[in-house]
């Protein structure tokens, strides 16, 4: 961990509950998929519902929790509400998760699949895990 050596143990202890609560938002598969979709592009509720196949009550509940946590924000256009990532820390976590678990499948349009030097992100885990791959049975 770069920089961790310069942070006091007392600071880490004080910040641990906040960090744990923040990370809890990523521990639910539906919320994680919502964040994946929203990190790829600003999306309306109907776009998210169609893309992820999450039923309206569960979708509304999870979006409300993400809004309450300050991870997503809304923008109203006529009767549509659009969601986007509101917290830079959430964007950074999503970028890391895309890099670690999705490799080359990460959305390059948002810059999440590229390293800071512009090179493609390495496929760190190979085919071991692809959490953002959506499979629907029809």
pLDDT band, residue 48 (cuts 50/70/90): very high
pTM above 0.85, yes or no: no
pLDDT band, residue 126 (cuts 50/70/90): very low
Nearest to 43 by CA among 33, 58, 55: 33
Per DSSP, what are the bridge partners of residue 77? 80
| Least reliable range by pLDDT among 17-21, 85-89, 100-104 | 100-104
Task: For the chain, list the domains and their CATH numbers.
Answer: 14-110 (1.10.10.10)
The alpha-helical segments, DSSP class H, found in the chain are 9-24, 29-40, 45-52, 56-68, 88-97
Distance CA 31, CA 68 (A): 13
């Amino acid at each position: 961990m770069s920089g961790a050596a310069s942070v006091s143990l007392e600071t880490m202890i004080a910040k641990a509950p906040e960090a744990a609560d923040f990370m809890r938002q990523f521990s639910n598969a539906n919320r994680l998929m919502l964040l994946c979709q929203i990190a790829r592009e600003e999306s309306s509720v109907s776009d998210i519902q169609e893309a992820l196949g999450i039923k309206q009550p569960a979708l509304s509940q999870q979006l409300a929790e993400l809004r309450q946590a300050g991870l997503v924000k809304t923008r109203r256009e006529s009767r549509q509400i659009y969601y986007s990532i509101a917290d830079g820390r959430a964007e950074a976590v999503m970028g890391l998760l895309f890099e670690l678990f999705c490799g080359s499948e990460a959305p390059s349009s948002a810059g999440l699949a590229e390293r800071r030097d512009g090179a493609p992100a390495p496929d760190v885990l190979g085919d071991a895990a692809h959490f953002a791959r959506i499979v629907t049975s029809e």
